[in-house]
Chains A and B, each alone.
Chain A
Amino acid sequence: MKFLFRRLFFYALTAWAAVTINFFVPRVMKGDPVQSLINRYQGQIDQDAVHSLYVLFGLDKKQSLWQQYVEYWGQILHGNLGISFTFFPTPVSDVIRTSLPWTVGLVGMATVIAVVLGTLFGTYLGWRRGTWADSFLPVMTFFSSVPYFWLGLLFIAVLAVAFPVFPASNAYTPGLEASFSWPFIQSVVQHAFLPALTIVLSSVAGWILGMRNMMVTVGSEDYVTVAQAKGLPERRVMYGYAARNAVLPQVSSFALSLGFVVSGSLVMELVFSYPGIGTQLLAAIGAKDYPLMQGIFLVITLAVLLANILADVVYVFLDPRTRQEG
């Protein structure tokens, strides 16, 4: 339990750091979000309105930095992430609410598939090291160093343009009513296939390599030797003895890699015009919509932290050593 509390404290610290970075970045940089909004409306905003805009965006010049900071926290704790410029005057939280489920669904599913597949395949490759199984390694290396979005581009070029098997963009056929009906679900799955394939293919290699190397290391431990000497079935030694111990670092690197997965899938969404949070973030960049950018960064960070906490809990269940300390 002590382990979990330590971790929880750390996540609280990280969340605080993320919020603080979010608070300071626009204030340190030269750009003035209100000024850019005024420029967008080209002089249609009078001076009083300008001041209230500053207050609205939490950039009131009459307040001290500390007051602004405290107020910023108050707003965030109330779930108020400010107001989007591009969708003015829609609150950022509303924009995020409509796009987040798509990303979480797609990236979450694809990541879980990649981890499970990668770990199983890596177990096998590690067990059969030094045989023909090693010839998979160069292929894996290639896929692990390809940019996500480029793989997505290739898939579109081949499977959506040259051979139109899958749709190239959107999350479901436009015009379809969002509901839990069969045609809608079918359309969603069809549209998610290529993006998911992209994520799985480009991230699975890392899992395979990690698991394989752990299997190679664990495979020469004494307990594996003993298990084999006892004449246990090979399958049992492989899964029950070697893989079981080799999988632990996979769990902790799963937690750490989530940030990368999210980052990679952001751009992937742009390629597939998937209406997720990545597309939203990139649109916000194009429009210099600072509140939306920061809101999205905060939400992504919190999501990654949450997933990390989950991974830690799983770790505690898997590894008895963490439980002993408490």
Chain B
Amino acid sequence: MSNLPIDPAAAAPLGDEQLPVPEVTEGSPSGKAPHRKKFVFVRNAKSITGLTILVVFLVLAVIGPWIAPHDPNETTLDLLAGPSGAHWLGTDHLGRDVFSQLLVGTRAVMIVGLVTGIGATLLAVLVGVTAGFLGGVTDEILSALANIFLVLPALPLIIIIATQIEGINSLDIAIVLALTGWAWGARVLRAQTLSLRGRDFIEAARATGESTGRIVWFETLPNLTAIIASSFVSTVTFAVLSQTTLAFIGVTPLDDWSWGTVLYWAQSNQALSRGAWWWFVPAGLLVAILGMALTLVNFGIDEFVNPRLRLAGMSARQMRRSGIRPRIGFTARVRDLPRTYDHPTPVARAATTSGSTTGSGGPSTPGTSGAATVKETVR
């Protein structure tokens, strides 16, 4: 590290958003010193929900094949039977247990999701940070490459490549998905690296003679953590959806169980017209729940990176409890006077607005905007 005193706030991602945010989100404006918190986004209710669901899926991916009540390929005489005690989610046209198929299939989905996520994120970091940091011709070439991959329709390309690999397995699919899915992350990372590159603390590090590798590794990358995490989560979502789609259209081997494979069998055996809802509804729901969990985690990260969204991320009740009045079109702010003014007089209004940065106060005539303000304040 350089020996210059660096303000931790300036080193945080998007350090130019120097709003007094920590107090606001904690809901306790007094007391606590604003010490730098790592992984603040983990405390976010959305992130916690998302991460919990993710952990459940991960555990199922590991133990799924062991706790599955039946062999997913074992045919029985209960053809196309609805949910019952023996078969919790019914059976398919060969009498195979759908619940076991889903349990066993979780592993393939999670493997593809995670391997793609890791691979694509590594590629994105490599390309994005290199492009942003080196600039010049390297940047032009790498950016063009990323943009090309962004514009090319991914699924048809994936399908074309995947169909030409003989005996394709989950790992192959993950590699293909990683090779096609890194571009968005690279683009976002490049933009952020560009903005970091000009910051004072990087300049200072360069001035003290640190090597480029060290500047990239120890000064730049830590400040990109949130964005890298967010791009990882998005890639996993993309991979899960793509894997399900590929399995659904029958590109993956049929004995390689995944949620999409279950849907493939359901679709190709007229589950719809036979009214066998237990066959296709749970598989899709699983994809949706997993996707939702990932999106929730990403919301948490987004709100961590962009403080303006963070305030918006609180529920209306939470905001009222912490004394924040959302005001139409304005930055939400902390009420800095005790709530003794039940009926906001002009004096009280002026006092509450005076501390804000975006005060509309002044001669707020009883126009439409004035009326809206009063309405919000009364609440």
Q: Mark B220-249, 1 if CB is under 8 A from A, else 0.
A: 000000000000000001000100110011
- Contact present for A131 and B292 (CB under 8 Å): no
A285 contact from B251, B272, B326, Cβ within 8 A: B251
State how many angstroms separate the Cβ of B268 from the closest Cβ of chain A. 10
- Contact present for B362 and A157 (CB under 8 Å): no
A171: interface (CB < 8 Å): no
- Contact present for A263 and B155 (CB under 8 Å): yes
- Contact present for A131 and B245 (CB under 8 Å): no
Say yes or no: A271-B267 contact (C-beta < 8 A), given A225-B329, A281-B156.
yes
- Contact present for A146 and B291 (CB under 8 Å): yes
Q: Which of A57-65, A72-80, A83-91, A294-302 contacts B (4 or more CB under 8 A)?
A: A294-302
B287 contact from A146, A154, A267, A300, Cβ within 8 A: A146
A300 contact from B156, B299, B324, Cβ within 8 A: B156
Please indicate the chain B residues that have their CB under 8 angstroms from the CB of A168 in the complex: 272-273
- Contact present for A13 and B148 (CB under 8 Å): yes
- Contact present for B166 and A259 (CB under 8 Å): no
Please indicate the chain B residues that have their CB under 8 angstroms from the CB of A242 in the complex: 329
Please indicate the chain A residues that have their CB under 8 angstroms from the CB of B155 in the complex: 262-264, 266-267
A229: interface (CB < 8 Å): yes
Q: Mark B31-43, 1 if CB is under 8 A from A, else 0.
A: 0000000000000
CB closest chain-B residue, reference A137: B299
Say yes or no: A31-B166 contact (C-beta < 8 A), given A286-B250, A301-B153.
yes
Q: Which of B67-75, B95-103, B336-344, B364-372 contacts A (4 or more CB under 8 A)?
A: B364-372
Q: Classify the secondary structure of B's interface with A.
A: helix
A26: interface (CB < 8 Å): yes
- Contact present for B163 and A301 (CB under 8 Å): no
The interface size of chain B toward A, counting residues with CB under 8 Å, comes to 73
A149: interface (CB < 8 Å): yes
B151: interface (CB < 8 Å): yes
- Contact present for A13 and B156 (CB under 8 Å): no
B165 contact from A29, A281, A286, A296, Cβ within 8 A: A29
- Contact present for B241 and A130 (CB under 8 Å): no
- Contact present for A229 and B360 (CB under 8 Å): yes
Q: Mark A149-172, 1 if CB is under 8 A from B, else 0.
A: 111011011001110000010000
Say yes or no: A263-B329 contact (C-beta < 8 A), given A130-B312, A150-B263, A157-B277.
no
Please indicate the chain B residues that have their CB under 8 angstroms from the CB of A293 in the complex: 159-160, 163
B216: interface (CB < 8 Å): no
A199: interface (CB < 8 Å): no
State how many angstroms separate the Cβ of B359 from the closest Cβ of chain A. 8
Give the distance in Å from the alpha carbon of A134 to the alpha carbon of B237 in the complex: 23
- Contact present for A229 and B369 (CB under 8 Å): yes
A175: interface (CB < 8 Å): no
Q: Which of A43-51, A183-191, A213-221, A317-325 contacts B (4 or more CB under 8 A)?
A: A213-221
Give the distance in Å from the alpha carbon of A265 to the alpha carbon of B368 in the complex: 44
- Contact present for B292 and A142 (CB under 8 Å): yes
- Contact present for A216 and B280 (CB under 8 Å): no
Q: Mark A206-238, 1 if CB is under 8 A from B, else 0.
A: 000000010011011010110011011110011
Q: Which of B129-137, B197-205, B314-322 contacts A (4 or more CB under 8 A)?
A: B314-322
Q: Mark A20-40, 1 if CB is under 8 A from B, else 0.
A: 011001100111000000000
B154-169 with Cβ < 8 A to chain A = 154-157, 159-161, 163-166
- Contact present for B249 and A267 (CB under 8 Å): yes
Please indicate the chain A residues that have their CB under 8 angstroms from the CB of B280 in the complex: 150, 153, 157
State how many angstroms separate the Cβ of A315 from the closest Cβ of chain B. 15
- Contact present for B151 and A147 (CB under 8 Å): no
- Contact present for A142 and B368 (CB under 8 Å): no
B147: interface (CB < 8 Å): yes
Please indicate the chain B residues that have their CB under 8 angstroms from the CB of A153 in the complex: 263, 266-267, 272, 280, 284
CB closest chain-A residue, reference B19: A220
A304: interface (CB < 8 Å): yes
Give the distance in Å from the alpha carbon of A282 to the alpha carbon of B249 in the complex: 7
- Contact present for B152 and A25 (CB under 8 Å): no
- Contact present for A156 and B284 (CB under 8 Å): no
B309: interface (CB < 8 Å): yes
- 23 A/B residue pairs, CB under 8 Å, sorted by A: A10-B147, A18-B152, A29-B164, A129-B326, A131-B326, A145-B237, A145-B290, A145-B294, A147-B248, A149-B248, A157-B280, A161-B275, A216-B308, A220-B330, A222-B358, A224-B329, A224-B330, A228-B330, A242-B329, A256-B150, A259-B151, A294-B160, A301-B153
